[in-house]
Structure 1
Amino acid sequence: MSLLKKCVGLDPNFRKPLDIGLIWEGNYWDDQDVHDCCDVDWETCEILVRKISKALLLPTAPTDGSSKENEKVLILLPKIMQLPLTILAAYRAGIMAIVMDPLTFKTSTLQSILLAEQPKFVVTVDAFWQAQELIEVKSTVENLPEMDETQLLVIRHVAPNNGVPPPKRHYPARRPSYRTSLCLRDGKDWEWSTVMAGVTVGEYSKEFEDGWKWDQDDVIMKLVDEEGKIHTVRHGELLEKLDAKKAGLETKIAEKNGPNIENIMVMDAPKDLETLTNFLVPWYMGKTMTLYEGPLSYPDSSRLAQVISKHNVNILLGSGTYSIPNPEYLKFFAVPSLKIIDMPDFPIVSSYFLNFQQ
C-alpha cells in the first residue's frame, strides 16, 4: 500500500470522510480564552492533497523542458496545516520536496540550498508569530539573489486581506496583523488561495491512485536541520521507519490495555528521518494529527497542557528536548485524555501533567 493511501486514503471503516484528520492550534491565546485554531476532516485533507499536487505541476512555476524527475520544490513552512498536506502533495506529484523550518533556518543555509538544488519554486508563508515576535518569511526569501529564477507560492497566513480596515487596537501575536502585508510581485509570486481556487479535482475513487509511482530507492525528500545539514530520505527507508514506529506505538497502546487512541500531537517539525517519521505516523496509523504552531512558553508554560486538554490529545510524540521555563504550570489544565507520552529525550515532562498515569 502506498504512503499516500496509508496517510489520507478514505475508508468508511477506518478513516471516515467526515471525521477530523487534522487539527492546527495557532500561536494566539489570551486571558479571555480566545484561541486561533481550525480542524479539517479526512475528506477535505484528501481533496487538498490532490489540489495541492496539481498546483505544484501548474505552469505558474518556471519550466525549462527538463524531466519531472529533476523537479524540486522547497517547502519553507512553520507547523501550519499546509505543511503535512504539501509534503504529501509533492510525493503524489512525483516532485522531490526539500523541507526547511523557517523558525530555525539560517539565511546562508537557504542560499546554499537554493544554489545547489535549484527548486522550481518555494512554498512559504508571508509571516508567522512566535509568541509576540512576528517572523517575516516572504520578504526575507524574495530578496535573496539566489531567488532570481525561482518563484514563490505564498500562503497569506498573517497579513490581512486587501481592503479590510484595521481594528482600533493592535493585538500582538494575533492574526491577522496589520503590521505586515502581502505584496505579490508580478510574474514571480502566486498567492496560495488564488491558485487553489483555480484547481479542480475529480472524485476520490477515480483520481486518487493517479499519483507518481516511486521506486523503493528513490530519493523522495531532503530535510534540512537547524545546523544546515541535509538529510536525504529514500522511499523505502521512510516506509520501513513508519512501519516500525507504528508497531512500537501499537505495542505501547496494548500495554495500556488498549485505550481508545484517536488523536496524536506531534511536537517536532520534520528535519531528519526520525522527526519526519514522527510527523507522518499519526496519519499513517489513521489517527488525527494535532499541530501547535507557537512556543511552549506562550503566553505561559501551561500552554502545552492547554492544547492537550482542549483537543483531547491521546499521545504526545516528540524526539527532542523542549524549553518549558516553569513546567509546574502544566498542572493548570487536567489532561485526562492523554494516555501515552513518547518523548524519550524529555522524560521529565510526564511528571508535570495533572491526572496523567505513565
Structure 2
Amino acid sequence: MQINSFEEYQRNYQLSVDQPEEFWARIADNFLWKKKWDKVLSWNFSEPNIKWFEGAKLNITENCLDRHLAENGDKPAIIWEPNDPQKDSITLSYKILHEQVCRFANVLKKNGVKKGDRVCIYMPMVPELAVAVLACARIGAVHSVVFGGFSAKSIADRINDAQCRLVITADGAFRGNKQIQLKEVIDDALIGCPSVEKVIVLTHTRTPVSMLKGRDIWWEDEIKLVDTNCPAEEMDAEDLLFILYTSGSTGKPKGVVHTVGGYMVYAGYTFSNVFNYQPDEVFFCTADIGWITGHSYIVYGPLSQGATTVIFEGIPTYPDASRMWQVVEKHKVNILYTAPTAIRSLMSFGLQPIEGVDLTSLRVLGSVGEPINEEAWHWFDENIGKSKCPIVDTWWQTETGGIMISPIAFVTPTKPSFATLPLPGIQPVLVDEQGNVIEGNDVSGNLCIKFPWPGMLRTTYGDHERCKQTYFSTYDNMYFTGDGCLRDVDGYYRITGRVDDVINVSGHRIGTAEVENAINMHAGVVESAVVGFPHDVKGQGIYAFVIFPNAHGDEDLTRKDILQTVTRVIGAIAKPDKILFVSGLPKTRSGKIMRRILRKIAEGDTTNLGDITTLLDPAVVDEIIEKAKK
C-alpha cells in the first residue's frame, strides 16, 4: 500500500487514472470487511450521486481498534499531552482504548442512542474526545463534533440542523491560560434545541456546573454501570459516519456528510503514504479534533494503520514559545503535522525557544490548512527539520475527507509553497471562468476535480440540493473546490487562495456572509461587508466595513461591542481584525456590494480598482479610501 519511489508513484498514479476501480479495490483489500463489496464505484456528478464499495459491510472501529489487538494490543494508540506541562501525560494502549470505547459505546446505548442517531460532541482535546467519536462509530451513531471555540448560537444551529438526540461535553476546557466553560455554553445552546434528550458531562476542569435532573448525567457515573463487551454494529459502506459543519458563502453553515467505507479507505491510505508512516513511529498532528484535520489525521487515519497518535490539549505558545518543541522532544515525535499559522507565530519568537531542545527524532514535517508561504517553509525546513526532513505541504478540504494534492515524503521532490502533485486517484483540472479546461503547464485557473475519490463528501446533511449547487453546479461534471490554483512549468500545483466569499483564517474557513450576519445583529449596525486581507500570522485576516450612523460617539467602544456580538453569535474565531466605520458601501445599481473593490482597499492597493463609474455612488469609494488611510 505504501509508495517508496517516484517511479512507483507514477505507476500507481497512472493505474489509478486508467483503472480506478481496480486500483481502489486493491487499496481496500488492506482493510477489514465483514462482507466484500458488490461494486467498487457508481457515480454521477450532476446529481450528485457517489457510491463507493457498494454492498460492503464493515465497522470502522474494528479497523481502528480490534484488528490491532492480537499483535499490538500493548502498543500506545494515543498519547495525551495536557495543557499544563506540570501535569503528567497519559498513554492509552490499543487494548485500553478498545475497552474504553466499548464501555462508552454501551453508555450511549444505555441512554437510548441507536444506529443512525446523531450525537453532538463539544469537548476539550482530551482522550475522551477520541473515545466518544469512536464509541459513536462503534454503534453506528453519527457524530457531529463542534469545535470548542464556537458560541452557544453556533452550537444550537448545528444541533438543530442534525436533530441530535444526545450531547457529549465536559465541565470546561483549558486553552493556554484560559478556562472555557463548555457546559455553560451547552446550557445556553440547549434552550432552543428540543431534539436533545440527554447530556453526558465529563469532569475535566472541576468547574462548578448546573446539572439538570433527568437530562444531565456524569460520564464518570455512567461508565461504572456498564461493561466493556460491545460488539461492533455492522454498517453498510455508504452508511453515515459523521457530519462536520463548515462555513460556506451563505450565512448558514453546511453539514458535510462522510460515509463509513470510502472515508476509512481514503484516510488510512493517505495517512500511510503522505507521511511515509513506519511501524512504532509517533505521529503528532497539532489540529483540534473539532476540525476535519483532527478527524482524519488524529483519529481515523492513524488508528486505522495501527499508529501512535498524539493528542495535545494546549497551544504552541503556552506557557512559552518552546512548548510545541518540548512536546516533540518529550514524546520523541517522528512526524509533526501543523499549520502555517502556528509556524509563523513561532517564527516571530526567534530561535531562542528552540535552543537546547532535542528535535533529532523528527523525520517528516507537514503543513495543513492553508498555503504555506516561502519564508515560513524555509524556517520550518532549516530550523526544525535541520534540512533533513521532507515537508509535505498538503492541500485538501473538509469536503474531500483526506489529503488530495501533496508531496509524498521521501518520494516527491518538494518545492517551497507548492502542494506539488495529486495523490493517486485524484484527477485535478484547472478551468477558466466559463468552465473551459486549461491544458498544459505554466497556467492558472479555478481548481476542480473531474473524477470521484473514496473520501469525498456524499451530501450536505438534510439539503442535497445545497450540496449540488455549492460543489457540482458551477462547472459541468466536476467538483469545484472554490480555490484558485496555478500549475507551474513542472506540472506542480500551488493553491493561490479562495475564489468565493470565504476567508481562510488560520487555516479555518469562515464565510463572509456568516460574519456579516453576525455583525448586522448588533442593534446600531445598518449594513456591513466583510473581506479577507493579508495577515502576517493568520495568513488572512477579517476586515469589516460597517455602516453604523452613531459610531462616531465612541468608535473604540462600538468596535468592542461589535466584536462581542460576533463572539456571541459565531465564536471568537470569527472576530474581525479590523473594523472601519463608513457612511456607505460600493454597490452596483442593482444593489450588489462590490467586494472586489473593498478587498483592494483592505489590501492597501488603491491604484488599481478597475472601473468604478458603474457604481451607484462612486464617491463612496474615495471616502472609504480616505478613512482606511487614517
TM-score normalised by length of structure 1: 0.80
Letter in 1 for 2:65: V
Task: Note if 1:9 corresponds to 2:30.
Answer: no
Question: What is residue 306 of structure 1 aligned with on the other side?
Answer: 326
Aligned ranges 1:318-329 → 2 under 5 Å: 318=338, 321-322=341-342, 323-324=345-346, 325-326=348-349, 328=351, 329=353
**1:135, distance to aligned residue in structure 2 (A):** 0.5
Are 1:341 and 2:365 an aligned pair? yes
Q: Using the alignment, how far apart are the partners of 1:249 and 1:75 within structure 2?
A: 29
Q: Could you say what secondary structure the match of 2:180 adopts?
A: strand
Q: Deviation per CA, 1:107-136, whole angstroms, max 9, x where unpaired?
A: 322111122222111101110111111110
Deviation at 1:300, TM superposition (A): 1.0
Q: Could you say which structure has the greater relative contact order, defined with CA pairs below 8 angstroms and 6 or more residues apart?
A: 1
Q: Does 1:264 align with 2:286?
A: no
Shift of 1:272: 5.5
* Deviation for aligned residue 1:184: 2.3
**Aligned counterpart in structure 1 of residue 307 of structure 2, from 287, 294, 297:** 287
Q: Given the alignment, which residue of 170, 181, 189 partners 1:136?
A: 181
Residues 23 and 291 of structure 1 are in contact (CA less than 8 Å); yes or no, is this contact kept in structure 2? yes
What is the identity, as a one-letter code, of the residue corresponding to 1:77? M
Report the residue type matching 2:313 in the other structure.
Answer: E
| Match of residue 243 from structure 2 | 222
Q: Unaligned 5+ residue runs, structure 1?
A: 160-179
Matched, 1:122 2:167: yes
2:462 matched to which residue of 1? none
Structure 2: runs of 5 or more not aligned: 1-31, 33-58, 390-630
Aligned partner of 1:198 in structure 2 is: 225
Q: Name the amino acid aligned to 1:295.
A: I
Q: Which of residues 335, 345, 352 in structure 1 aligns to 2:383?
A: 352
Letter in 1 for 2:388: Q
Please say if residues 27 and 36 of structure 1, whose CA atoms lie closer than 8 Å, have aligned partners that are also in contact. Answer: no
Map of 1:72 onto structure 2: 118
Q: In structure 2, what is the Cα distance between the partners aligned to 1:118 and 1:354?
A: 46
- Measure, in 1, the Cα distance between the counterparts of 2:227 and 2:309: 26
Deviation at 1:270, TM superposition (A): 3.6
Aligned residues: 314
Aligned Cα RMSD in Å? Answer: 2.5
Residue 44 of structure 1: aligned partner: 96
Structure-2-length-normalised TM-score: 0.47
Shift of residue 343, structure 1, vs aligned partner: 1.8
8 Å contact kept, 2:100–2:228:
no
Kindly indicate whether the alpha-carbon contact (under 8 Å) linking 2:68 and 2:306 is maintained by their aligned counterparts in 1: no
Matched, 1:154 2:179: no
Deviations, residues 173-216 of structure 1 (Å, cap 9, x unaligned): xxxxxxx32442211111001101111124xxxx5xx2112222
**Which residue does 1:181 correspond to in 2?**
208
Tell whether the 8 Å contact from 1:302 to 1:327 is kept in structure 2 after alignment: no
User: Which has more radius of gyration?
Assistant: 2
Report the Cα distance in structure 2 between the residues aligned to 1:129 and 1:226, rounded to whole angstroms: 25
Q: Where in structure 2 are the equivalents of 1:220-259 lying within 5 Å?
A: 220-225=241-246, 228-249=253-274, 252=276
The question of whether the paired residues in 2 share the 8 Å contact of 1:333 and 1:354 is answered with no
Residue in 2 aligned with 1:99? 145
Q: Which residue of 2 aligns with 1:85?
A: 131
Q: 1:125 to 1:296 in 2, by over 3 A?
A: same
The residue number in structure 1 matching 2:157 is: 112
- With over 3 angstroms needed to count, the CA separation of the structure-2 counterparts of 1:226 and 1:4, relative to structure 1, is same
Q: Aligned pair in 2 of structure 1 residues 183, 335: CA closer, same or farther (>3 Å)? A: same
Shift in Å, 1:294: 0.9
| Alpha carbons of structure 1 residues 338 and 261: separation in structure 2 relative to 1, 3 Å | farther
% identity of equivalent residues: 19
SS at match of 2:380: helix
For 2:102, the aligned partner's letter is R
- Aligned 8 A contact 2:116 2:140 in 1: no
Structure 1 position 242, deviation (Å): 1.7
> 1:10-59: CA deviations, max 9, x gaps?
546642x2232211111113xxxx23421112211010110111111113
CA distance in 1, matches of 2:80, 2:387: 23
Structure 1 residues 321 and 211: CA distance shift in structure 2, 3 A: same
